A and B are shown apart, each in its own frame.
Chain A
Amino acid sequence: MQLQTSINNYFPELIGQNAVKRKLSFYIDAFNKTGVCPFLLLTGAKGLGKTEFAKGFGKNLVNQDGTKRNFLEINCSTIKNNEQFFEQIFLPLISDNEITILFDECHALPKDLTMAFLTIFNTETRTRKTFEWNEMSFEFDFKKQTFIFATTESDQIFPPLKDRLTNVDFEPYSSEELGQILKVCAPEAVIDDDCLKEVSKSVRNNARNAVMRAKEISLYCGAKRKFVFSLKDFKDLCQQVSILPLGLTYTEKQILEALKHGSATLTGLAAKLGLSKTSIQKDHELYLLNKNLIEIDGKRKITAKGIDVCKELATQ
């Protein structure tokens, strides 16, 4: 009960991900007592809220003088080498400062910095580390600096670096949680429960999509001067902004239509759609598989549920 209260105190604006909240709350409590936090690695599919939770976590960390710790968010795909990192980021922003640093998309860290991090984050019980590079010394003080890493591609992180980080894994949102996100992000609209269920289905299990859909609902209600958003309004919105059933994309729709008349190999499907095989595998068929609309048994086949969705698509 007490833990539930504390996780809600630490993350009042964030919905769902209770396991993540519990784990992060534990580290916040520990940090506030000891001043030390493990190096965290947030992993999970895109749109699950890794960055938002990292910020929420950072917001709860307090400096030695009682002020809140600043939060630095770096897009790792823009880091090219050690020199650039130490010159542009470490010396001006991190060194001697109390700050939380989020390395977003950390699978894209350059090789030389990954190697440097192996040394820097190999701390055992010490809270300070001096890193010697290029005849210079860089002082890391882990009581002053908190490091968080986040990625969707955890398999692409160099395993020895991954071993030095504490993993916090995100789980998919339930339909109810997505509904709550929609309600919170469209506060001016009253969305009835049936409608909320349908809208939740269209956000592809993804919190970021739920936030975007909520914005569309707000705009719709604002434009129509409405306070109640009903199922009829949602159908109207779907027509206007081209939202397909289950939030399918037009390429996914094409895949379903291509498979409606019979199974196909990946190569055959790629040829029919004019897409690369990798693109189909990585970008388009995963959601169809997740929603049980197609299955792969040597060949790609449409399921009974997939046929029903095809019929629904035909009526639109």
Chain B
Amino acid sequence: MKRGRPKGYSPYVEISYEDLADYVGRKTLIKVCKSWIEDLAEQAHSSSNLFSVTKESFVEDSHKEETKEEQPKIEYAITNFN
């Protein structure tokens, strides 16, 4: 009788963060693989990632600027009595 795990078996499954959020809240403690989270943290701090974050925030900022510019003008009149 064979014992142990069958070949190719993995105790992990892949699930998108969005789908996971259907089951757990933002503050739920989740056990994850140490090496996986370390890899992920490293990636996040790599320059390419920083560039993309900066680019995203730049796009966001310019969008905000556009929204500011779109504010309609207040109608007013100034009278000088002198």
A residues contacting B by CB (< 8 A) are: 55, 58-59, 67-75, 78-80, 83-85, 87-89, 93
Contacts and interface: CB of A to CB of B under 8 A. Distances in A.
A74 B80 contact: no
Contact of A70 (B71, B72, B75, B78): B78
B74 A78 contact: yes
Given A67-B82, A70-B80, A80-B72, 8 more contacts: A58-B79, A58-B81, A71-B79, A72-B77, A74-B74, A75-B76, A78-B74, A88-B73
B81 A85 contact: no
Contacts of B75: 74-75, 78
Interface in B46-82: 68, 71-82
19 contacts: A59-B81, A68-B81, A70-B78, A70-B79, A70-B80, A70-B81, A71-B78, A71-B79, A71-B81, A72-B76, A72-B78, A73-B79, A74-B75, A78-B74, A80-B71, A83-B71, A85-B74, A88-B73, A88-B74
Interface in B20-68: 68
B76 A55 contact: no
Contacts of B82: 67-68
The CB with the most chain A CB atoms within 10 A, among B72, B80, B81, is that of B81
B37 to A, nearest CB: 35
A233 to B, nearest CB: 36
A79 B75 CA distance: 8
Contacts of A74: 74-76
A84 B71 contact: yes
Contacts of A84: 71-72, 74
